[in-house]
Amino acid sequence: MRLSTEKPNPATASIDKMSTLDMLAAINDEDRRVALAVKSALPEIARAVDTVVESLRGGGRLFYVGAGTSGRLGILDAVECVPTFGTSPEQAQGLLAGGQEAFFRAVEGAEDSEEMGGHDLRQRGFCREDVVCGIAASGRTPYVIGALRYARSLGAPSIAVCCNEEAPMLALADIGIAVDVGPEVIAGSTRMKAGTAQKLILNMLSTATMISLGKVYRNLMVDLRVTNQKLAERALRLVMQLAESDEAQAAALLSETDNDVKTAVVMARLGISLTEARERLRRADGYLYRVIDGLD
């Protein structure tokens, strides 16, 4: 298999002799190609989003699986779903070859075991209602291939994200997302353009999924979980904006609802109790617009 990510890049063949400014300009020029490459894969990404939405609606979970940079990006995307969209830590999870230790320091050879890919999913209780998203720049990482094979053996939906169009992973997944970003600035350094492409794709996958599940109103993160002062202040601003209330009223509503922005907004806009607001949202499957749009 010819790996485009391993090829020398003629545009940066003399980068070791460039001035600092020219070096940075060369890197920036290459980075600009990434977004356009990802754009070409939007139909496949949309299919992946629809698959994840269906799984999560049915009580399933999303598992990102990868090694090295790819695995770390999966973990980053999964953990950010909790404060941003108010998900449980179990709903989106990241598995990294070599385990937690590998997040901070490379564990040599961890990615070379197909068996461990399936083993780690089994350890998390992965089942056919869940969905796995395998991530690998090369598209041939054994650990990720093992996870995809295990998902297939259970009949669970699977997604492959890679940066080579001839990747073996693509044949093992129900949905293949291959984004050819071309040779890296430093040949084989897939933490660069390939990593950027993967980050963009995972951001799209999780964000579009959560929007589809009603965790965003307009373009506001109304299901955020207040875990720090910054998010507490954001929740307060959201209630003030959407409920058209002053700071004191918004703070009181958030206190009564245990910092649940959507419930606080419904209580204020409809003039109803906490119990009734929660029931209205339950009947609307959590979609805030179904409860309050049309009131203006």
Catalytic residue positions? 80, 111
Token reading at 275: 């119990």
Instruction: Identify the CA nearest to 6 among candidates 234, 172, 157, 181.
Output: 181
Residues 129 and 60: their CA atoms lie apart, in Å, by 5
185 vs 183: CA distance, rounded Å: 7
Strand order in the sheet with 158-162: 92-96, 62-66, 131-136, 158-162, 175-178
- How long, in residues, is the chain? 296
Kindly report the number of other CB atoms within 10 A of residue 290's CB atom: 14
Query: Which DSSP letter does residue 217 get?
Result: B
Q: How many CB atoms lie within 10 A of CB 285?
A: 10
Q: How many helices (H) and strands (E) does the chain have?
A: 13, 5
The Cα–Cα gap between 57 and 210 comes to 11
